[in-house]
Amino acid sequence: MTNSPAYVFTPPPVVSVPVAGSTHRYAVHRVYCVGRNYEEHAKEMGFTGREPPFFFLKPADAIVAVDAGTVGTLPYPSLTKNFHHEIELVVAIGTGGKDIKAADAHAHIFGYAVGLDMTRRDLQGEMKKAGRPWCIGKGFDHSAPIGPITPTALAGDVNHADLFVQVNGTDRQRSNVAKLIWNVAETIEHLSAAWELMPGDLIYTGTPEGVAAVVTGDILVGSVAGLGELHIKVV
Ligand code: MN
């Protein structure tokens, strides 16, 4: 007999993401994001050169999990007039650890997914300018759409995969994961030096150039080759 604790309110549901080819779901622990991890995007944001990777987080319940073959809905957020898409490869950690070396990183990865790091760019810009945290620009409700997680064995060579996002059928961002400044293994090395990674941790690895605004009614189609497509409508 287990004696389960009594709560003062019903605990929130477990946030989870579908797994391609499985009826099991991936339970989310944390959502880490890498900033400025493609050179051309760093330039368009006003930076140059290879600086050590830096990280920010989104709340786990900012995840909008979209099943394969369906169109997810993304509410246009409050307070912004400049709501940007950032197409990203997402890494799903399956085995935790700290101080993981890049050479050992692969063994910690459960799979990969297509994600959008949605950003209230105007608010992020104001916070940057004031030297304040980015939370309001990056960590708002529904800010992390994601498609199904493809297990590593089925994902192909994601480190050299083309990725793109189209808005209403027109290309906005198009690049290749090989252009990451800090690749997946190196990112895991840096991240796990700062936090102990846990199963359920998602890592949004950064976005290439071409970030731009969406408006209500827009249809976004994001893709990373080998991982399927993420379809979402701004409502
Ligand atoms: Mn991003």
| Residue 65: predicted pLDDT | 98
| Residue 2: predicted pLDDT | 64
Alpha carbon of residue 159 to chain centroid:
16
For strands 144-146 and 150-151, give the pairing: unpaired
- For ligand 1, the distance from its centroid to the CA atom of residue 206, given in whole angstroms, is 4
**CATH number of the structural domain 16-234:** 3.90.850.10
CA atoms within 13 A on the CB side of 123: 18
Work out the pLDDT band at 4, boundaries 50, 70, 90: confident
- For ligand 1, the distance from its centroid to the CA atom of residue 2, given in whole angstroms, is 42
| DSSP structure class, residue 105 | G
Around Cβ 222, how many Cβ atoms within 10 Å?
28
Q: What is the mean pLDDT of residues 105-132?
A: 98
Q: What is the mean pLDDT of residues 191-220?
A: 98
Question: How far is the C-alpha of 108 from the C-alpha of 175, rounded, in Å?
Answer: 26
Question: How far is the C-alpha of 16 from the C-alpha of 30, rounded, in Å?
Answer: 11
Task: Answer with the residue of higher pLDDT: 52 or 158.
Answer: 158
Contact in structure between 109 and 97 (CB atoms under 8 Å): no
List 232's β-bridge partners, or say none.
72, 220
In degrees and rounded to multiples of 5, residue 140 shows phi and psi of -85, 170
First-to-last alpha carbon distance for the chain, in angstroms, is 47
- For ligand 1, the distance from its centroid to the CA atom of residue 89, given in whole angstroms, is 10
Q: What is the mean pLDDT of residues 12-31?
A: 97
- For ligand 1, the distance from its centroid to the CA atom of residue 8, given in whole angstroms, is 36
Compute the residue count for the chain. Answer: 235
Q: What are the residue ranges spanned by the domains of the chain?
A: 16-234
- For ligand 1, the distance from its centroid to the CA atom of residue 101, given in whole angstroms, is 23
pLDDT digits 0-9 by tens, 69-88 = 999 999 999 999 999 999 99
